[in-house]
A = this chain, B = another copy of it.
């Protein structure tokens, strides 16, 4: 892990860009912390870190004020990372189906998501190794948001993740519903009730499938990007309950 830039944000947050091998990432830490702080991995959709930066930095600043470090890495095939032919093809198929008003087939969803999960999850685990080796970062670790299937897989395979806040998005491969039954960590699931691109019933079924004894579903009005401020606050409180 190599830090490539460093800047102090207004509100006492240190932002450092890094590379982990060829993968770019960003780490935010509360600049005033005197002891190692817990860490939240910030997931995001595969639109590129640069595009997602404004939303991510907002969450990072909020978390830093609560005493958390946050970190994120670029997803395979996104942003400045090399294009990925298989996933590009699946995206094209998805766009075509949606523009034609056709249902998105299981095959398209599998082709879009499963390779991403397979490739991204070990990368997030490698990032976790590197981040936890930093003296300013302790534990426990939470995972928040992004592609929900990546969150599910991480919750199953990565024992260092103690709690996860997930965003019930669309395009969840059927295989992930089975995997969801193996999740046992506390979960906080956000659902936007009127999310245009989201199958509400599938989201409710997925919530039902999670094996966790403590899981909460917070459904709010509005579309995909319309998560109200108070819902973000509630998610933050979930992490404070479980990581502090």
CA distance A42 to B207 in the complex (A): 30
Contact pick for A216, options B218, B238, B241, CB 8 Å: B218
Q: Name the prevailing secondary structure of the A interface residues.
A: mixed
Chain B residues with Cβ below 8 Å from A215 are 193, 220-221
Q: Name the segment of A51-59, A147-155, A229-237 touching the other chain.
A: A229-237
A200-244 contacts to B (CB < 8 Å): 204, 207-208, 212-221, 228, 230-231, 233-234, 237-238, 241
Considering the complex, give the chain B residue whose CB is closest to the CB of A233. Answer: B237
* Residue from B204, B219, B221 within 8 A of A214 (CB atoms): B221
Within the complex, the shortest CB–CB distance from A223 to chain B, in Å, comes to 13
Report how far A214 CA is from B214 CA in the complex, Å. 26
CB proximity to B under 8 Å, residues A99-113? none
Instruction: Please state if A218 and B221 are interface contacts (CB–CB under 8 Å).
Output: no
Taken together as a complex, chains A and B put the C-alpha atoms of A98 and B243 apart, in Å, by 43
Q: How far is the CB of A191 from chain B (nearest CB, A)?
A: 8
On whether the beta carbons of B216 and A217 are closer than 8 Å, the reply is no
Contact of B231 with A216 in the complex, beta carbons under 8 Å: yes
Known: A193-B208, A204-B204, A208-B193. A230 touches B241 (CB 8 A): yes
Which residue of chain B has the shortest Cβ distance to A238 in the bound complex? B230
A39 to chain B minimum Cβ distance, whole angstroms, is 22
Do B231 and A221 touch across chains, with their CB atoms under 8 A apart? no
A193-B208, A204-B204, A208-B193 as given contacts; A220 in contact with B230, CB under 8 Å: no
**Contact, CB under 8 Å: B220 / A216:** yes
CB distance from A187 to the nearest CB of B (A): 10
Question: Can you list 5 A-B contacts with CB-CB less than 8 angstroms, sorted by A residue number?
Answer: A193-B217, A216-B218, A217-B217, A217-B220, A234-B234
Q: A204-B204, A216-B219, A216-B231 are in contact. List 13 more A-B contacts (CB 8 A).
A: A193-B215, A193-B217, A207-B219, A214-B221, A214-B228, A215-B220, A215-B221, A216-B230, A217-B217, A218-B218, A230-B241, A233-B237, A234-B237
